[in-house]
Structures are given as C-alpha cells and as structure tokens.
Amino acid sequence: MSRSRLALGAWLGFDARLIVTARKPAIAFIFVTLTLDILGIGLIIPILPRLIENFHGGNAAHAAHTVGMLSALYSLMQFGFAPLLGSLSDRFGRRPVILGSLLGSGLDYFLLAFAPNLAWFYVGRVIAGITGANFSAATAYIADVSPPEKRAANFGLIGAAFGLGFILGPALGGVLGDVGLRVPFFVAGGLTLLNTLYGWLVLPESLAPENRRAFAWNRSNPAGSLLALRRYPMVFGLTGTYFLFYLAHQVYPAIWVLYTSYRYQWTVAQTGWSLALVGLMAAIVQGGLTRVVVANLGEQRSAIFGLTVSVVAYALYGFAPEGWMMYAIICFGSLGGVTTPALQGLISRSTGADEQGAVQGALTSLASVTGILGPPIVTGLFGFFISQGAPMKLPGVAFYFSSLLSVGALVLAARSFRRNGSDAKPGAPAPAAQP
C-alpha cells in the first residue's frame, strides 16, 4: 500500500491498511460510488437550464436551443471517449479509470460554478462528457463481480443508484437553487471530490489479471467498437432497440425543466421535487422490482413490458393538462425502467469475460449518439411549437415524438427476439458468440 494513502488515513484518524486488507470486490462499493456521482449530477439538473435561460434574458425558446446544443456536445464527448475508457479498463483495470473520471468531474463542477459566460459552459460540457464516459467502466465492474444469472438484477442496481442519487440530488438542488443558481455547482463539486477520495481509499479492483487484454485502437474508437458488436448476434440484433430507446429518453434531460416551467409555471423547487420523485420510483423499480419482474418474466419479456409502458408514459406526459398529473405519470412510467437492466443482462451474457469493458463502452457510445441527436431534435420541436411562428401551440410535441420512437424500439425488440429464439429462463446460458 502506498505511503501517501497510509499517511492520509492517519491524518483522518484511522489505519488505512484495515480498509485495504478487508476489501473484496462487491456491488456495494460501486453502488455507493455511482450514487454519490449521480447525487452530484442531480444537484445541478434543476438549475442548469434556468441559468442558461438567464444568459438569454429569460427567453425560453432561445434557451431551449442552447440547452440542446450543450447536451449534444456532452454526448459527443461521451461518444468519442466511452470506448476508449472501456478498452483502457480492460487493459489496466476498472479502478483507475473510474477514479480518474471522478476527479475530472469534480473539478469541472467548480469550473462551471465560476463560469462568467456561455463560452465557459461549452468548455465545461466538453470536460464533463469525457469524464462522464466512466459509466462503461462502472458497468463492466458490475459484470466482473456478478455471476451470469444475476447480472440483469445487479445491473438494476445501477438504476437504483441513479434513483437514490436523484431522490436527494434534485430535491437538494432545487432548495439550493432558490438560494443561488451557482450554489449547487459548489456542493456537487465537493461531493464528487469526496467520492473520489472514498474510492481511492476503499474501492477495490474487480478485473482479474488473467481477464485483462492488450489495448488496441481498433476496439477503442467509436466506429470500431460498434462494428465489433457484429460478433455477437443477440447484441447486434438489439442495437436498434437500444438506440431508439435511448433516443426517446433524451426528452427528459433536454426539456423537463423548461417544459414544466413553461406549461405549469413550476418553480426551481417544484422541479427539484418532481425529479426527486423520479429518483424514488427508479430506486424502487430498478433496485427491487426489476429482480421480481426478470425472475418471473425472463429478460426478453421484461424488455417488452418496459418498452410498452414507455410508449404510453411518453404520450401521457405530452397530454397532461395539469401539473399534478405529472406526478401520477412518473409513478406509472417508472415501470419502464426494467427495460435497461433486461437489455444489459441479455447483452452481458452474450459477451466474453475479457470484453465486457469494450462492449459496454460500445453501448455507451451508442447511447451517446442518441445524446448527440436527441437534444437538438426535441428542444427544436419544443422551441418551435411554443414560438410565435408556430402553426399551433403544442408544448408536448417532444413527448409525442418520444412515444413514437418507443413504438419503433418495441417492434425491433420483438423481431430480434424472434430471430434469436424464445426467452431463456434466468440463469440459462446465452447463445454462443459467433467468431
């Protein structure tokens, strides 16, 4: 163990060797790390669009386009760097990639806290997108320490971490945002740096030396990593579903704050509480209900169920004439959260132990493509249909668009499952990968 870590432990009042000798690769470590990471992100969600709106003099339509561009830039960086970080984690281990990304993310929050104009926000989004690509390593970490039959359920813990972080983060961000729109950035930065320190002292490495592989650029760029998915029939068959599902999901981070503020005149605090409910339901569904659903329906039927719920929920969000209805729709729509862990379970079970990081990085890149395309599209639709030149006022149009995308994802999933055979019972071996 390094002298610096021993010295830091002594300064904090404990023997760091006691932690390290007791460390074992476990889901609990990565769960806490992801929860604190998402808590930091959740803190700024209620206030970032409003801060952008202030830079535009309170014009919601203009702010919507800027928010869309900033979101697209963030996802563009994730698209480029997720496969690289995933492959690096396959070579050097998950721990250094996760900790390095957390450190960069924490410093980025402080950059945004002091940003004097929109140009600095673009710089901050570049840094945040690069460091945010660490989720491929975190997902691979879970695959490393989970037996195949439990991976879908354990991937649900990622959603639970998101949920728990979003219970506390947006609610606290809404309260702090009423104090000052810059305050949540300072708190988020502090929490993320504390998370980095926690991981440095406690987080163990999960990738065994025998499962590491040499680094290769052809697997570490977005195009090469996506093309490599063709080696796995089930994975490649689900890429269309994965793409449309995440493209539809972009409506939430892109316009939720602007939409609820425009249509229902919600305050920062009200927006924060609504997002806290999103987090609470995600924690319930993905942290517990997912295990029950997957155990009884299997991964394929669980994905179909989740996609069907998403189709209905998006349409209801666009239609709801009263703000209180959004809370009821959040509770119902959260059932669609079983889709992601079910798909990830199917994909992970079709992938070799030495390629989990690369495959998860490729899927993160695919999701990032939707983050590049989705926000400009949905904010453009929202901005146009609330503008003076719109043929009719239709603020919910972006949600209707996401509902149609979910229909497409549902159709592609059903077709892929028919081609690859009937749904296997949980714990059954996945189809062998083709060379």
How confident is the model over 55-96, as pLDDT tens digits? 887 777 778 888 888 888 887 887 777 777 777 878 888 888
Confidence of residue 271 (pLDDT cuts 50, 70, 90): confident
Q: State what percent of residues in the chain have pLDDT above 90.
A: 18
Whether the model pTM is above 0.75: no
Q: What is the DSSP letter of 395?
A: T
282-303 average pLDDT score: 84
115-119, 295-299, 378-382, 426-430: which has the minimum mean pLDDT? 426-430
Beta strands in 163-239 (DSSP E): none
The pLDDT, as a whole number, for residue 357 is 63
How many Å apart are CA 232 and CA 230, to the nearest integer?
Answer: 5
Higher-confidence residue of 306 and 218: namely: 306
The pLDDT, as a whole number, for residue 242 is 86
How many Å apart are CA 81 and CA 75, to the nearest integer?
Answer: 10
Residue 216 pLDDT > 70? no
Cβ pair 260, 326 in contact under 8 A: yes
Crossing angle of helices 339-349 and 151-179, in 10° steps, is 140
Confidence of residue 306 (pLDDT cuts 50, 70, 90): very high
The pLDDT, as a whole number, for residue 399 is 97
How many Å apart are CA 46 and CA 65, to the nearest integer?
Answer: 17
**Interacting residues of 374 by C-beta distance below 8 A, sequence separation 6+:** 71, 246, 247, 248, 249, 250, 251, 254
Residue 151 pLDDT > 80? no
The pLDDT, as a whole number, for residue 5 is 47
267-292 average pLDDT score: 83
Q: Encoding tokens for residue 433?
A: 């990968």
Residue 1 pLDDT > 60? no
Residue 428 pLDDT > 60? no
Query: Phi first, then psi: what are they for 207, rounded to 5°?
Result: -90, 115
Cβ pair 354, 55 in contact under 8 A: no
The pLDDT, as a whole number, for residue 336 is 92
Q: How distant, in Å, are the alpha carbons of 98, 102, 217, 368 from that of 221?
A: 19, 22, 6, 13
Q: Which of 211, 90, 52 is nearest to 82 (CA)?
A: 90
Q: Which of 260, 234, 297, 274 is nearest to 432 (CA)?
A: 234
Cβ pair 370, 77 in contact under 8 A: no
Q: Which of 91, 158, 57, 139 is nearest to 362 (CA)?
A: 139
The pLDDT, as a whole number, for residue 398 is 95
Q: Which of 38, 101, 99, 135 is nearest to 344 (CA)?
A: 135
* Number of neighbours of residue 397 by Cβ within 10 angstroms: 18
CATH topology of domain 22-207+214-419: Growth Hormone; Chain: A; (1.20.1250)
Give residue for tokens 């993160």.
364
Residue 156 pLDDT > 60? yes
- Element housing 216 (H / E): none
The pLDDT, as a whole number, for residue 358 is 66
How many Å apart are CA 151 and CA 163, to the nearest integer?
Answer: 19
* Number of neighbours of residue 265 by Cβ within 10 angstroms: 9
Crossing angle of helices 27-44 and 183-202, in 10° steps, is 170
Cβ pair 184, 44 in contact under 8 A: yes
Q: Which of 190, 80, 192, 188 is nearest to 136 (CA)?
A: 80
SS3 353: helix
What would the pLDDT profile of 389-424 be if each residue is shown by its tens digit? 888 889 999 999 999 999 999 999 998 888 766 554
The pLDDT, as a whole number, for residue 59 is 77
Q: What is the DSSP letter of 94?
A: H
SS3 203: coil
Which of 15-19, 33-37, 173-177 holds the top average pLDDT? 173-177
**Interacting residues of 260 by C-beta distance below 8 A, sequence separation 6+:** 266, 270, 271, 274, 323, 326
Q: What is the mean pLDDT of the chain?
A: 79
Cβ pair 189, 110 in contact under 8 A: yes
Helices (H) and strands (E) in the chain, counts: 20, 0
365-392 average pLDDT score: 86
The pLDDT, as a whole number, for residue 157 is 73
Q: What residues does each domain of the chain span?
A: 22-207+214-419
DSSP 283-308: HHIIIIIHHHHHHHHHHHHHHHHHHH
Q: Encoding tokens for residue 155?
A: 């991937």
How many Å apart are CA 96 and CA 106, to the nearest integer?
Answer: 15
